[in-house]
């Protein structure tokens, strides 16, 4: 009883969600969106199949803690690059949002792109908008069951393939496929395939525009990057109003009408189900479907195109639009600086890391022959894809002796090799504390080298007096 | 678009049972904590290698990197969900005081 009362208030707080049946649309922007979907999804499904030097070209090998991006191999030590790449992605989003509004949402967001594909599959199985609406209203006939089953089969197959491809970015895809065909996938591989597959199925098949409206954080803060010079999709109310139905061929001005014939095509094609004629709304993902729909109607009526168009608030108000504005310049400069830094960092990065720590047990040891010895724990990390042999040398203000000599170490690909090195120096020539320099050089490739500075400690006796 | 008929307004929406308020709140908690868990998992396991733990010191479920990553993700998700749920609860109290 009480619960029913609560439920009733809950219902009244929210408008019940009404299913949106987007009408198919064709035109310039629909073509652009289809091209974007093909390119992006094509990349997503094909890239993990590419090979490079006998391995998967793009592989974020989580089990082995190595990221392969074509010729580049990144290790956990290169985590900074991942951080920088994510920052670049975020800044690009800000930059393009300030410049051209929600380009990301309309053309590139996985939610939009996968929803588009699920809509294609739905259209294939259930027909166009009117047929789909009729089908949903009709009782469960054999025809309806057949159509709905076909749609579900297509959706589930596509979603599972998506989940499988997703896992293929983290675990080698061809091995994964072999194991999948043998039904011998590991429990976690199976789990993540189904998890991502289910997320795709639910988000692109059912939640659709609700993800943009209720779940997307970007939709909430993107307006902070908007200003009066940002490209938005808007209805030209001054030209369109007062809207109204009319016979073709009449002069609307004489009838006191604007150019909008109130055919509601712009609403019917909208994937988020809004009416663009009510002005800019947070639900608008800027997919431009309404532009295509309206342009087609304007063509039929013999009116000029662009009643709904990409424009800026300033240009709508008859003021000039500025492209270069402080926020665009700031985002752009940050972006250029960061991209330059990452490219330079990647170019100058050596696939060899040397780490030297003084042994903690003793400051120094004075040998019988009067020399001083310091002990160092050295770690050599081979970040190349081949085994390497490195020679370590040491240099300081006086000639130093290294033990073992020569210090040659073979390090397998991706391995960290721990070594203990002893450095000896004549006692009377060393100040109490001095810097010495270790250098590792690859035997096969002398350009592969790294050096590091360490402390050498000697007894504080000063010049033997 | 080839006959006059199609230019007339159509029935625009089909009403559909809405998600209840509680389901929406659960959704908000699950989703925001999912995003936070993704970040947390990436940073945590970018810095710490599960395989670096000595086998004799590891708990029984510490079987492979993939297992630790996955369970770590669910751990972060649960912690994130707890924080999000508490935040919603307390925000609700603030809102109720504001209405009084």
What's the pLDDT band for B14 if we cut at 50, 70, 90?
A: very low
Q: Nearest by CB to B1, which of A79, A188, A296? A: A296
Picking from A74-78, A228-232, B18-22, B62-66, which range would have the lowest pLDDT averaged per residue? B18-22
Percent of chain A clearing pLDDT 90 (strictly above): 29
Q: How many contacts does A have with B, using Cβ atoms within 8 A? A: 85
CA–CA separation, A105 and A232 (whole Å): 12
Task: Please tell me the distance in Å from A439's CA to the nearest CA on chain B.
Answer: 26
- Which residues in chain A are closer than 8 Å to B69, comparing Cβ atoms? 62
Work out the minimum CA distance from A247 to partner chain B, whole angstroms. 10
Pick from A21, A14, A17, A15: nearest CA to A267: A21
Token code pair at residue A182:
């043998």
If you write DSSP's letter for every residue of A346-363 in order, what string do you get?
Answer: HHH--SEEEEEEE-SS-S
Q: How confident is the model at residue A17 (pLDDT cuts 50, 70, 90)?
A: low
Q: How far apart, in whole angstroms, are the C-alpha atoms of residue B26 and residue B81?
A: 9
Nearest CA in chain A to B27: A215
Inter-chain touch A297–B9, beta carbons under 8 Å: no
Beta strand A371-382 with A352-358 is antiparallel
Q: Which of A226, A338, A287, A237 is nearest to A25 (CA)?
A: A287
Query: Given pLDDT bands bounded at 50, 70 and 90, which one contains residue B2?
Result: very low
* Residue percentage of chain B with pLDDT more than 90: 31
If you measure CA to CA, which chain B residue comes closest to A16?
B18
Q: Does residue B96 belong to the interface with chain A, where contact is any CB pair within 8 Å?
A: no
pLDDT band at B73 (very low <50, low <70, confident <90, very high): very high
Dist CA A459 CA A372 (whole Å):
8
Q: Above 50 in pLDDT, residue A271?
A: yes
- Chain A: residue nearest B66 by CA? A63
> Could you give the residue ranges of the DSSP H alpha helices within chain B?
21-47, 65-99
Q: Which of A8, A15, A21, A295 to mutate to test the interface with B (most CBs of B within 10 A)?
A: A21
CB-nearest partner of A263 from B9, B17, B49 = B9
Each residue's pLDDT tens digit, A18-70? 677 877 788 889 999 999 999 999 999 999 999 988 889 999 988 888 888 88
A288 compared with B54, residue with greater pLDDT: A288
- Find which of A5, A8, A19, A294 to mutate to test the B interface (most B CBs within 10 Å of its CB): A19
Q: Name the nearest CA neighbour of A386 among A361, A409, A411, A368.
A: A411
Assign 3-class secondary structure to A185-223. Answer: CCHHHHHHHHHHHHHHHHHHHHHCHHHHHHHCHHHHHHH
User: Nearest CA of chain B to the CA of A306: how many Å?
Assistant: 18
Domain parsing of chain B, residue ranges: 21-99
CA distance A154 to chain B (A): 24
Check residue B19 and give its pLDDT.
Answer: 59
Using the beta-carbon criterion (under 8 Å), do A17 and B12 form an inter-chain contact? no
CA dihedral of A243, A245, A249, A253, whole degrees rounded to 10: -30
> Is B46 in CB contact (< 8 Å) with chain A?
yes
On the 0-12 / 13-18 / 19+ scale of CB atoms within 10 A, A335 is middle
Whole-angstrom distance, CA of residue A79 vs CA of residue A64: 15
Distance of residue B13 Cα from the nearest chain A Cα, in angstroms: 6
* Chain A residues with CB-CB distance to B51 below 8 A: 65
Closest CB to B14 among A18, A82, A191: A18
For this complex, say whether ipTM is above 0.90.
no
Q: Are A138 and A18 in contact (CB under 8 A)?
A: no
User: pLDDT tens-digit profile of A311-342?
Assistant: 888 888 888 888 888 888 999 999 999 999 99
- Residues with Cβ within 8 Å of A229's Cβ and at least 6 positions away in sequence, in order, are A312, A313, A314, A321, A322, A323, A325
Judged against a pLDDT cut of 50, whether residue B8 lies above it is answered with no
Nearest beta carbon to residue A79 from set B4, B46, B70: B46
The verdict on B11 touching A (C-beta cutoff 8 Å) is yes
Percent of chain A at pLDDT > 70 equals 95
Does residue B76 have a pLDDT over 50? yes
| Candidates B8, B16, B28; nearest CB to A19 | B16
Residues A106-155 have pLDDT tens digits of 899 999 899 989 999 999 999 888 888 889 888 999 999 999 999 999 99
Q: Which residue of A has its CA nearest to B43?
A: A79
Across the interface, of A133, A171, A215, the residue whose CB is closest to B14 is: A133
Confidence of residue A257 (pLDDT cuts 50, 70, 90): confident
To the nearest 10 degrees (0 to 180), the angle between helices A28-46 and A142-168 is: 60
Q: A394 and A423 in contact (C-beta within 8 Å)?
A: yes
Q: Which residues of A touch B4 (CB under 8 A)?
A: 248
pLDDT band at B10 (very low <50, low <70, confident <90, very high): very low
- What pLDDT is stored for residue A18 in this prediction? 67
CA A79 to chain B, closest CA, distance in angstroms equals 7
Q: Write down the mean pLDDT value for chain A.
A: 86
Q: Which two tokens stand for residue A410?
A: 């073979």
Interface test with B, best of A3, A111, A263 (most B CBs within 10 A): A263
Structural domain boundaries of chain A?
A: 15-49+101-223, 227-316, 352-457
Q: CA A129 to CA A119: how far, in whole Å?
A: 10
**For position A166, what pLDDT does the model report?**
94
Q: Exposed/middle/buried for A342, CB within 10 Å: 0-12, 13-18, 19+?
A: middle
Stretch A440-457: mean pLDDT? 88
Percentage of chain B modeled with pLDDT above 70? 77
Check whether B98 has a pLDDT greater than 60.
yes
Residues of A in contact with B24 (CB under 8 A): 14, 214
CB contact under 8 A, B66 and A20: no
**Separation CA A241–CA A258 (nearest Å):** 4
- Check if B9 contacts A (Cβ < 8 Å): yes
How far apart, in whole angstroms, are the C-alpha atoms of residue A251 and residue A261?
Answer: 12
Q: Do B13 and A273 touch (CB under 8 A)?
A: yes
**Could you tell me if A372 and A424 are in contact, meaning their C-beta atoms sit under 8 angstroms apart?**
yes
Of A136, A215, A268, the CB nearest to B31: A215
CATH architecture of the domain with range A352-457: Sandwich (2.60)
Q: B14–A19: do the CB atoms touch at under 8 Å?
A: yes
């Amino acid at each position: 009883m009480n619960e029913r009362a609560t439920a009733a208030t809950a219902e009244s707080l929210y408008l019940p969600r009404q299913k949106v049946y987007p009408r198919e649309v064709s035109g310039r922007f629909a073509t652009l969106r289809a091209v974007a979907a093909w390119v992006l999804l094509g990349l997503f499904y094909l890239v993990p199949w590419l090979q490079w030097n006998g391995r998967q070209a793009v592989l974020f090998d989580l089990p082995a803690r190595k990221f392969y991006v074509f010729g580049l191999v990144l290790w956990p030590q290169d985590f900074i690059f991942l951080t920088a790449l994510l920052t670049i992605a975020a800044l690009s989003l800000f930059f393009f949002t300030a410049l051209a509004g929600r380009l990301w949402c309309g053309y590139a967001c996985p939610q939009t792109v996968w929803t588009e594909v699920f809509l294609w599959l739905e259209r294939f199985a259930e027909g166009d908008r009117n047929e789909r609406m009729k089908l949903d209203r009709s009782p469960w006939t054999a025809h309806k069951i057949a159509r709905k089953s076909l749609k579900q089969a297509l959706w589930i197959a596509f979603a599972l393939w998506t989940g499988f491809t997703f896992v293929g970015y983290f675990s080698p895809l061809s091995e994964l496929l072999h194991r999948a065909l043998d039904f011998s996938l590991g429990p976690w591989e199976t789990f993540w395939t189904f998890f991502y597959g289910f997320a795709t199925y639910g988000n692109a098949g059912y939640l659709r525009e609700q993800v943009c409206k209720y779940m997307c954080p970007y939709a909430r803060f993107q307006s902070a990057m908007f200003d009066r010079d940002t490209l938005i999709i808007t209805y030209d109310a001054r030209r369109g109003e007062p809207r109204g139905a009319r016979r073709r061929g009449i002069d609307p001005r004489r009838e006191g009408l604007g150019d909008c014939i109130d055919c509601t095509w712009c609403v019917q094609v909208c994937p988020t189900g809004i009416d663009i004629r009510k002005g800019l709304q947070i639900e608008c993902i800027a997919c431009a479907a309404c532009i295509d729909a309206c342009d087609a109607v304007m063509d039929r009526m013999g009116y000029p195109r662009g009643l709904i168009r990409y424009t800026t608030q300033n240009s709508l108000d008859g003021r000039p639009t500025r492209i270069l504005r402080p926020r665009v310049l700031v985002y752009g400069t940050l972006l250029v600086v960061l991209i330059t830094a990452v490219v330079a960092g990647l170019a100058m990065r050596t696939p060899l890391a040397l780490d030297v720590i003084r042994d903690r047990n003793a400051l120094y040891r004075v040998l019988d022959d009067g020399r001083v010895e310091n002990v160092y724990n050295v770690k050599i990390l081979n970040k190349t894809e081949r085994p390497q042999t490195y020679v370590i040398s040491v240099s300081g203000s006086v000639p130093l002796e290294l033990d073992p000599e020569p210090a040659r170490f073979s390090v397998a690909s991706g391995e960290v090799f721990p070594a203990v090195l002893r450095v000896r120096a004549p006692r009377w020539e060393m100040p109490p504390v001095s810097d010495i320099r270790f250098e590792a050089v690859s035997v096969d490739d002398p350009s592969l080298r790294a050096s590091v500075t360490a402390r050498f400690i000697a007894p504080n006796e000063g010049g033997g007096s | 678009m080839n006959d006059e008929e199609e230019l007339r307004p159509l029935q625009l929406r089909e009403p559909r049972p809405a998600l209840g308020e509680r389901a929406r709140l659960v959704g908000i908690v699950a989703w925001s904590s999912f995003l936070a868990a993704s970040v947390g998992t990436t940073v945590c396991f970018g810095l710490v290698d599960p395989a670096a733990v000595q086998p004799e010191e590891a708990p029984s479920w510490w079987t492979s990197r993939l297992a630790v990553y996955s369970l770590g993700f669910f751990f972060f998700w649960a912690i994130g969900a707890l924080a999000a749920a508490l935040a919603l609860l307390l925000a609700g109290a603030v809102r109720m005081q504001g209405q009084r």
